[in-house]
Amino acid sequence: MNPQDIEFGLDSFVFVSVDESGQQLSGDVVIRNTVEEAVLADSVGIDSFNIAEHYRPDMMDSAAHVMLAAIAGRTERIRLGTAVTVLSTQDPVRVYTNFATLDAVSNGRAQLIVGRGSLTESFPLFGFDLADYEELFEEKLDLFTRLVRNQPVTWSGSFRSPLTDQYLSPPLPEGHLPTWVGVGGSPQSVIRAARFGLPLMLAVIGGSPKRFAPLVDLYKRALDAYGYPLLPIGMHSHGFVARTDEEAAAIQWPYWAEIFENAAAERGWARPTMERFRSEIASGSLYLGSVETVATKIAAVIRQLGLSRFDWVYATGRVPHEQRMATIELFGREVVPRVRELLAEPATEPATVALGSATNLESSRV
């Protein structure tokens, strides 16, 4: 694909961050700071800004559409989306009305990724049983895609009241509100994205992205089997960029370690180590370092998996607003143009070396 057509997005969890003295900011300040970050992303040429959905004390992303509408009013060009919308615990009718309205407010810039996400606090919060996850997602995706593609809708299911010849306002122009399916590695989820004829977003939050290559193959084969043309494939990963590799690692490490310490305590994950951090940077799923390091690694994975969209969680955890702004500036002005430049060159061997495989495992053994 033409390197100019590849989309580069920023993803935000609206992490509650600290100020430069280490003092934790209040939620409303964090939300306004994030709006500023999106405005900056627009001004430095980034293609999209996407907000996640959580209901936790350390993340302020519980109403993405409201924040996106505020961003829409201050930007002209950047696409505005979610990463991800937990469709299983929302009413597809409400998601449609919110995002069709966002699409109108923003003059056609709304987009969505729907999926489960890796945290699942929305299930008990909204009164759903996590054990029904598969059935919920299947049913709600079915209704949502009908609402976007072909109104009026006549529909019935198990989790909400039926609809008969239902039109919803505002109407969406054809092709608006592109909806991607986010997957974390489950083959059945990949098949489902293909069955619904929706583009695929791979969430790769640890380990070598190379292991997703078979899922990309599965998606293409499944699209073919369901009679669809090839649809776009994107990837979402974390990272941070600074002037040098050392500076980027020094800024991100304490906040990254904090997130994984919490996950270890809450969820039984392995505790973070500097070795694992280094290994994720060297050959795993952290796109972190200088402009050249990050651009080289992104270009390599785009080539290897045949991606047409790359979304980057710019800074993980409580990294201060000022440093987030600096990393957005570097990403938009320097990393993205450099990735496009690298992709315009003929493929060379280092592309695969940068992704590593066996070295990843060896270096993660401490």
**Distance separating alpha carbons of residues 289 and 287, to the nearest angstrom:** 7
CB nearer to other proteins: give 13 or 331. Answer: 13
The amino acid that residue 115 corresponds to is: G
> Shortest approach of other proteins to residue 185 CB, angstroms?
5
CB nearer to other proteins: give 162 or 358. Answer: 358
> Shortest approach of other proteins to residue 292 CB, angstroms?
26
Q: Environment class of residue 330 by beta-carbon count within 10 Å: exposed (0-12), middle (13-18) or buried (19+)? A: buried
CB nearer to other proteins: give 133 or 159. Answer: 133
> Shortest approach of other proteins to residue 123 CB, angstroms?
7
> Shortest approach of other proteins to residue 175 CB, angstroms?
28
DSSP string covering 59-128? B--S-HHHHHHHHHTT-SS-EEEES-B-GGGS-HHHHHHHHHHHHHHTTS-B-EEES--S--THHHHTT-
> Shortest approach of other proteins to residue 128 CB, angstroms?
9
**DSSP-derived pairing of the beta strands 233-241 and 200-203:** parallel
**Distance separating alpha carbons of residues 90 and 63, to the nearest angstrom:** 12
CB nearer to other proteins: give 173 or 214. Answer: 214
> Shortest approach of other proteins to residue 217 CB, angstroms?
5
CB nearer to other proteins: give 42 or 280. Answer: 280
Per CB under 8 A, residues contacting other proteins are: 118-120, 123-124, 129-131, 133, 185-188, 191, 207-208, 211, 214-215, 217-218, 221-222, 225, 267-270, 357-358, 360-362, 364-365
- Phi and psi dihedrals of 267, rounded to 5? -125, 5
CB nearer to other proteins: give 186 or 348. Answer: 186
